[in-house]
């Protein structure tokens, strides 16, 4: 059970649902809100998570699959209705699940009524709701900023004779958050969903909303961050002026005051891709009065190594402001699937780490089944980024959830073509078969979630890393007299870990180990174990 001294979002395990791909109830090959509702028993019961984050379901032309919004206060008919959302929320709360929705504040669709008005005339009252600028004397764009999705971040508008800014697609014009009317209107959209009982928001590209007011050129880039997706020309610049201006902290303090005005401990987590730990930690706020958490994506970028993972987690812990709560992400709708990045055995080690290290973990749908990245044929490709920039497609991690081995994978009827093809090896990677297999990846996740929920040391306790043999990452978690040691072998060789006190193995990544341990703890290749330690002991490790 959760520790009473901690807030729900600190002890929760968050599960990301990509609504297009979770469950189709209408037979059109696209998932929907009633589909999510129909699978809540799986999420709350079979799997055992605590909160769901639902990616965008707003009205949208779908230039970027819902991240181009035309109405922040409604539901796209493809996904259902506001009544369907209300039914989902009620059903989730009845099962003890919190509901987090995606909020997309940096940009709207170019078909949003606000932008249609803004684009109609230089004198329209909403002109300054977006970022418009004159061309340079030679007709070129106002600065050298690049779009995340390839090409320049400026598009020329013939009708009004100015450029408008878009950090992503041209169909996603950036809002001007320096306009108080924009801030007020966007905060009202948050209030709309809080009034409907939503528990929290995940803020899309949260650090983009405040840019350099002088729109200065970005300087040339230095060294690339290891492991981060190669984005070509975008990576040639150091992105210090097109996002993350210090004025952003005032915006997040105001947002926090909006959330704190509601009962029930409402929550905000921001998508912030920053490799500098001090800059990352600043988004908690000097008085913990900004975001409840900026997402920690550092392990998404890290090569698979014990020392690399330990150093990043220890660095995060060191950077946290006093009283701030950490978090961890290993997969989402923008990244190559976890099992494809790591391999099947290492993905088990990653699961154990995700659910036992200190902080709030976010799981991505299908990772609990070891669903691999799907090779989507070019003629079926959907992602606008991949279509514009070969090699950048995110379609492979967004394929339908596989519930059964039947045609359509239980996601949709077998005679219906899903919006993206189902993944490979559906006989192995589906809920029905893995639920019945006591050694499956799903069984491992279920066992980890049961243990985590039952033990305050694992969901709310303290953390310290422990010296371990090369290629091994070990750490202690404790709360009161309850103590656990987690030992993860990142190598493909057997290793041993010495413990100077008795304990008992609670869980191994192969689901085949339990019982007393003392002296030397042996680990197989790519294996992890959780050891319950006796009180008042110290862990000492040596290479054996």
Cα maximum dimension of the chain: 78
Q: Which of 517, 446, 521, 530 is nearest to 485 (CA)?
A: 530
Distance of CA 170 to the CA centre of its chain: 24
In contact, 294 and 284? CB cutoff 8 Å:
yes
Query: How far is it, in rounded angstroms, from Cα 336 to Cα 44?
Result: 26
Known catalytic residue: 138?
A: no
Q: Could you give the angle at the alpha carbon of 402 between the alpha carbons of 399 and 407, nearest 5°?
A: 100
Q: Which residues lie below 8 Å from residue 130, measured CB to CB, with a gap of 6+?
A: 114, 115, 118, 164, 165, 173, 174, 175, 176
Q: Which of 84, 174, 271, 395 is catalytic?
A: 271
Query: How far is it, in rounded angstroms, from Cα 539 to Cα 105?
Result: 47
Known catalytic residue: 204?
A: yes
Report, in this order, helix, strand and coil percent for the chain, each rounded to 5: 30, 20, 50
DSSP tag of 391: T
Q: Which of 439, 411, 409, 414 is nearest to 427 (CA)?
A: 409
Buried b (16+ CB within 10 A) or exposed e, 328-341: bbbbbbbbbbbbbb
Buried b (16+ CB within 10 A) or exposed e, 65-101: bbbbbbbbeebbebbbeeebbeebbebbeeeebbbbb
Joined together, the tokens standing for residue 481 give: 């007299």
484 three-state secondary structure: strand
In contact, 333 and 295? CB cutoff 8 Å:
no
Q: Which residues lie below 8 Å from residue 484, measured CB to CB, with a gap of 6+?
A: 356, 455, 457, 458, 461, 476, 477, 478, 506, 530, 531, 532, 533
Q: Which of 32, 204, 335, 506 is catalytic?
A: 204
The residues annotated with a catalytic role in the active site are 204, 271
């Amino acid at each position: 059970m959760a520790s009473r001294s901690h807030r729900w979002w600190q002890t929760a395990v968050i599960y990301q649902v990509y609504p297009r791909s979770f469950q189709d109830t209408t037979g059109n090959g696209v998932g929907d809100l009633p589909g999510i509702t129909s699978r809540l028993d799986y999420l709350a019961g079979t799997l055992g998570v605590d909160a769901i984050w639902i990616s965008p379901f707003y009205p949208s032309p779908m230039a970027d699959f819902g991240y181009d919004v035309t109405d922040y206060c409604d539901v796209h008919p493809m996904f259902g209705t506001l009544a369907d959302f209300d039914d989902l929320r009620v059903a989730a709360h009845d099962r003890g699940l919190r509901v987090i929705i995606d909020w997309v504040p940096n940009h709207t669709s170019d078909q949003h009524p606000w932008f249609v008005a803004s684009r109609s005339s230089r004198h329209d009252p909403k002109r300054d709701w977006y970022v418009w600028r004159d061309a340079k004397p030679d007709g070129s764009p106002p600065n050298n900023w690049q779009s995340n999705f390839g090409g320049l971040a400026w598009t020329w508008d013939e009708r009004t004779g100015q450029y408008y800014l878009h950090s992503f697609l041209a169909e996603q014009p950036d809002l001007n958050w320096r306009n108080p009317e924009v801030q007020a209107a966007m905060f009202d959209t948050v209030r709309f969903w809080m009034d409907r009982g939503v528990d929290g928001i995940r803020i899309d590209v949260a650090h983009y909303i405040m840019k350099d007011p002088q729109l200065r050129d970005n300087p040339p880039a230095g060294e690339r961050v290891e492991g981060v997706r190669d984005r070509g020309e975008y990576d040639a610049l150091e992105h210090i002026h097109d996002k993350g201006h210090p004025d952003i902290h005032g915006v997040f303090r105001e947002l926090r005051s909006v959330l704190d005005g509601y009962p029930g401990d409402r929550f905000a987590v921001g998508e912030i891709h920053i490799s500098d730990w001090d800059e990352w930690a600043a988004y908690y706020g000097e008085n913990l009065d900004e975001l409840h958490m900026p997402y920690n994506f550092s392990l998404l970028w890290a090569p698979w190594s014990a020392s690399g993972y330990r150093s990043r987690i220890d660095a995060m812990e060191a950077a946290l402001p006093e009283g701030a709560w950490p978090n961890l992400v290993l997969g989402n709708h923008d990244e190559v699937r976890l099992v494809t990045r790591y391999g099947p055995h290492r993905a088990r080690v990653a699961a154990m780490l995700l659910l036992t290290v200190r902080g709030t973990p976010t799981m991505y749908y299908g990772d609990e089944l070891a669903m691999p990245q799907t090779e989507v044929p070019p003629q079926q490709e959907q992602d606008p980024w991949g279509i514009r920039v070969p090699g950048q497609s995110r379609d492979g991690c967004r394929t339908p959830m596989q519930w059964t081995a039947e045609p359509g994978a239980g996601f949709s009827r077998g005679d219906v073509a899903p919006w993206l093809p189902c993944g490979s090896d559906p006989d192995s990677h589906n809920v029905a078969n893995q639920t019945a297999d006591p050694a499956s990846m799903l069984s491992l996740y279920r066992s980890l979630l049961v243990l985590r929920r039952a033990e305050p040391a694992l969901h709310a306790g303290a953390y310290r890393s422990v010296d371990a043999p090369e290629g091994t990452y070990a750490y202690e978690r404790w709360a009161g007299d309850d103590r656990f040691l987690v030992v993860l072998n990142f190598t493909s060789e057997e290793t041993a870990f010495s413990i100077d006190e008795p304990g008992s193995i609670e869980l191994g990544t192969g689901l085949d180990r339990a019982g007393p341990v003392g002296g030397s703890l042996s680990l197989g290749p790519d294996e992890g174990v959780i050891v319950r330690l006796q009180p008042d002991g110290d862990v000492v490790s040596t290479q054996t």
